[in-house]
Amino acid sequence: PPYLPHISREVGMLSALERAELTGRGGSYLRFLEPCLEGRGRQHAASSPADAGRSEKLRGYAMLLVNLTGAPLPPEDLAAYGRGLLPLARRGGGGGGGKLQPGTVATTDFPPGGRLLNTGVPTLVLVLPPRDGADSRWRKMYERCAGLESVGAGLKGRVFRGLSPAQWDEAVKGLPPSPLAAAAAAAAAEKARAE
């Protein structure tokens, strides 16, 4: 359906509390999605035009957030790193969850293998390091992630390690538009010239 990408974007823009309300017992999806279906969308004001630009740039990529901190990933961290992306189900040990596509973010607490890295779409992988005092197994897994580029020989994207949310924002600013977004923009420009 033509409205599905708009609904996906709206859900991706919901806060962690709104998503919990959406999926919880007795949750009211209409409060969040009816405006989208009516073509109005929700009013998700970015804190600055730069924030809106970073969110839009991220939507051209799929994102895999590898949480090796040794603790559960707080919802606000997922929101900070995957701003504007549709969260997929958590992937444990390299399986489960939905298929990574541009505009989605998945999390795992295990070093990803080729199946997760070779998605065929532009993918950004962000590996969060172990916290101080974390068990040694988290450090070993983090060290294994140093070679993710070679494991994911078909990776169409980049691997980042150990970035804070502020550092991640800077890294996103420096990303080129995803190849899929660039191709879509070129096709739209060509169509406009033809009309």
pLDDT of the residue at 42 = 43
pLDDT of the residue at 96 = 44
Cβ-Cβ contacts under 8 Å for 189 (sequence gap 6 or more): none
How many other CB atoms are there within 10 angstroms of residue 138's CB atom? 19
pLDDT digits (tens, 9 = 90+) for 13-37: 665 666 666 666 666 666 666 665 5
Cβ-Cβ contacts under 8 Å for 185 (sequence gap 6 or more): 177
Number of H helices, E strands in the chain: 10, 5
For the cut 90, the answer to whether the pLDDT of residue 46 exceeds it is: no
Rounded CA gap, 126 and 124, in Å? 7
User: Interior CA angle at 66 toward 32 and 119, to 5°?
Assistant: 80
Q: Which of 152, 86, 87, 76 is nearest to 121 (CA)?
A: 152
Mean pLDDT of 91-109: 69
List phi, psi (to 5°) of 125: -115, 125
And the tokens for 141? Answer: 């897994």
pLDDT digits (tens, 9 = 90+) for 52-64: 566 777 888 888 9
pLDDT digits (tens, 9 = 90+) for 135-176: 999 999 999 888 877 665 567 778 899 999 889 989 988 888
157-161: strand order across its sheet: 86-87, 104-108, 62-67, 123-128, 157-161
